[in-house]
Chains A and B, each alone.
Chain A
Amino acid sequence: MNQQDLESRFQDKIDREVKIEAKDWMPDAYRKTLIRQISQHAHSEVVGMLPEGNWITRAPSLRRKAALLAKVQDEGGHGLYLYAAAETMGVSRDQLLDELHTGKAKYSSIFNYPALSWADMGAIGWLVDGAAIMNQVMLQRTSYGPYSRAMIRICKEESFHQRQGYEILLTLVRGSAEQKAMAQDSLNRWWWPSLMMFGPSDAESTHSAQSMAWKIKRKSNDVLRQAFVDATVPQAQYLGLTIPDPDLKWNEETGHWEFGPIDWDEFWNVVKGNGICNRQRLRDRVNAHEEGAWVRDAALAYAEKKQARKAVVTP
């Protein structure tokens, strides 16, 4: 079959909602786009453990500590599911980690903001996981089978993340004036970066059209962002907190919350590496990897030794 026939047969499968599996023929650009997207997603799960991991030992109660520990552990698992999905496309784990550690691959910019107070554990769960869930629920129906299955698994685990975050804020707003102020301050800092998590607006987004045609993405950045705002505003109202956007207003006709302009200069600046924590996050990740090298090597050496010993014992 020639290239053109292969491509039209591929697109036909996509149009009929038949999932693409690892060994199926696929266009190079589809493979490349997915490797980039899935590995970025994996890196985000892994780097995302850093801002929250910092707070595990400072959680205010055993209940909160157990919940945060379980959440961070889940994120590590999400990274694993996604790396494994990327590896089905013929890249090695080593190669993917290398791209993260050398700064060649990106991860979600949200994790380049600092987690300054305990309330941030609330805001991150509620807003950052909330925004991620919007995206991930859509990706459960993505056209690449292994990615879709990883997303289904992840979505099952995510909802506790958002709920534990919201519960933290609920407790704070019912506490002292200082605690409520801490919750408000946290919302003030995390609101706009959370909206930026959906990526550039549709008009500016370069990869979007092709990704939609291939059904890698099934909803546009702006549609997802709007759905997130609509879901989140009433939750903020319930908390009695004020969303830091003077232009935010309900539109009776469209049935949506209208929001003010996003500062895309800030977004691109963080993407380019100039956020508050970019250097720290990458350094911590590289250190964790390098300091764990002896464990990986020792485990392999031990497995080989066991194997060799068994070979001697069994005739």
Chain B
Amino acid sequence: MKDWPLWEVFIRSRNGLDHKHVGSLHAADWEMAIENARDVYTRRNEGVSIWVVESKYIHASDPEEQDSMFESARDKVYRHPTFYDIPDEVGHM
């Protein structure tokens, strides 16, 4: 028997929020993937919208290169608001 293709499931828990990855499942096509996702991942009103993406279409960064990949952001403290000195008297900014 051939395994059905693997799908990644993303759910928006309520309007105003992003879709979030919740897990994966096998299904013959995208319509079945959405139905199955409803049955396993939203049995307790966890969602108002479902996205499914066939897993083979997802490309990922290489964990082995994690250090060099994200290194350039590490020494740029001036990108954060706390880097700048503003006297308390100015109030909230």
Which B residues are in CB contact (< 8 Å) with A149?
A: 23
A25–B66 alpha-carbon span in the complex (Å): 12
Secondary structure type dominating chain A contacts = helix
Q: Which of A80, A153, A307 has the most CB of B within 10 A?
A: A80
Q: How many A-B residue pairs have CB under 8 A?
A: 49
Cβ-based interface call for B73 (8 A): no
We find that the number of chain A residues with CB closer than 8 angstroms to chain B is 28
The A142-164 residues at the B interface (CB cut-off 8 A) are: 149-150, 153, 157
Q: Which of B1, B22, B29 has a CB less than 8 Å from the CB of A296?
A: B1
* Closest CB in chain B relative to A311 CB, distance in Å: 13
In contact, B29 and A306 (Cβ under 8 angstroms):
yes
Listed A/B pairs (15) with beta-carbon separation below 8 Å: A21-B63, A25-B64, A70-B43, A74-B43, A77-B43, A84-B23, A84-B25, A87-B6, A94-B1, A150-B23, A153-B22, A296-B4, A300-B2, A303-B28, A303-B32
Also in contact, A302 and B23, with CB within 8 A (given A21-B63, A93-B3, A293-B1)? no
Find out whether the CB atom of A94 lies under 8 angstroms from the CB atom of B3. yes
* Chain A residues at the B interface, C-beta cutoff of 8 Å: 21, 23-25, 70, 73-74, 77, 80-81, 84, 87, 92-94, 149-150, 153, 157, 293, 296-297, 299-300, 302-303, 306-307
Chain B residues touching A, range: 20 to 34
Query: B residues 1-22 with Cβ under 8 Å of A?
Result: 1-4, 6, 22
The residue in A24, A84, A92, A306 that gathers the most chain B C-beta atoms within 10 A of its C-beta is: A84
In the complex, chain A residues whose CB is within 8 Å of the CB of B3: 92-94
